[in-house]
Amino acid sequence: MFNRDQKIAIYMEGALDNDSGKMGFGLMRFSKHPIVCVIDSKYAGKTVEEAVGLSYTIPVVSSVNEAIAMEAEIMVLGIAPSGGKFPDEWDKPVSLALKSGLSLINGLHDDLNSRFGHLLKNNKIWDVRKPKSNYPIATGKAAELNNKRVLMVGTDMAAGKMTAGLELYTALRKRGTSVGFVPTGQIGITLMGNGIPLDAVKVDQAAGAVEQAVLEEADKDIVIIEGQGSLAHPGSTATLPLLRGSQATHLILCHKAFHSHLRYPVSHVPIPPLDEFIKLNEAVAHVCGSLQPAKTVGVALNTSGMTDKEAKAKIEETQGLTGLPTTDVIRFGVEVLTDAVLKE
């Protein structure tokens, strides 16, 4: 969609210091584009590292005009507001960016080409979550592939599935492995330039969309499938089509280490014991022996907010409970999960 050398500014007004900025955080870690700045007036004049402690020296500025002065060519909406809806208060900064010639990457559900298309000249808007008009109905064909299909599954939303998957993909590539990555959310699609906006696909076609994407990676020895949602979440339907479409052979469980309950607004729902939840995901994948069995080979913990000592203790506790190699892929690296995938 865009050249990798085009400079980007990440719009994160009011979100640099909270979970709603996950799109921006993903870009900071994985984007191949040069990032000239982050826009969040609360922390203007600081670097991201100075503002929120993440190890990025990207400058934070207060406005779109400052981003333009720093020669940004693309503005990315780095915020994922509740429901994926475009807030009206973003009209002014987005209009200014487009009128000034910047292109826009939009990871929200709203079609911004229809809303702002009249402002475009030589620039463009990429609505990342715009699905194809039609996908095939899944038939379980992926089970016939002679490769490993590794699905990231989570105990909750925003549990680190995309991050763990991309870290695993990167590590396998560095080892010379033939590996593919199937993005299923706005961040992964933005980073890879392709994929399935799974939460925008009709529910009856969701498994078929996943199956089609996995079949396109049939020449790879290992395919990493970005996970979405959770079987434990009462508002999520995403895990089932991912299991059905990918016919996963391996699973990696992703979990926020300090959470005992699901995130608001379902924080009354407790997260099941990890060993029991692993059995549930494997049982749903296998369907009493009818479909492809999937083996959980590791656990990726998000230990942010913990000290190193607390994180290591939680990893040891999780390994003892599950009997599986466990790590925080950001804090301690992804090697144990890479070894587990290659071994099994």
Read out DSSP for 289-334?
A: GTS---EEEEEEEE-TTS-HHHHHHHHHHHHHHH-S-EE-TTTT-S
What span, in angstroms and rounded, lies between the C-alpha atoms of 41 and 12?
Answer: 9
User: Are the CB atoms for 282 and 293 separated by under 8 Å?
Assistant: yes
**Predicted pLDDT of residue 81:** 81
Mean pLDDT per block of 10 residues along the chain (344 residues) reads 93 94 94 97 98 96 98 96 86 98 96 97 96 95 98 95 97 98 95 94 97 98 97 96 98 97 95 98 98 98 95 98 98 98 93
Q: What is the pTM of this model?
A: 0.92
Q: How many CB atoms lie within 10 A of CB 241?
A: 25
What is the model's pLDDT at position 211?
98
Q: How far is CA 339 from the centre of its chain?
A: 22
Q: Is 118 helix (H, G, I), strand (E, B) or coil?
A: helix
**Cβ 97 vs Cβ 65: under 8 Å:** no
Q: Map out the domains of the chain as residue ranges.
A: 8-127, 141-343
CATH no. for 141-343: 3.40.50.300
Fold entry, domain 8-127: Rossmann fold (3.40.50)
On the question of a common fold for 8-127 and 141-343, the answer reads yes
Distance CA 20, CA 166 (A): 20
Say how far apart CA 132 and CA 112 lie, in whole Å.
16
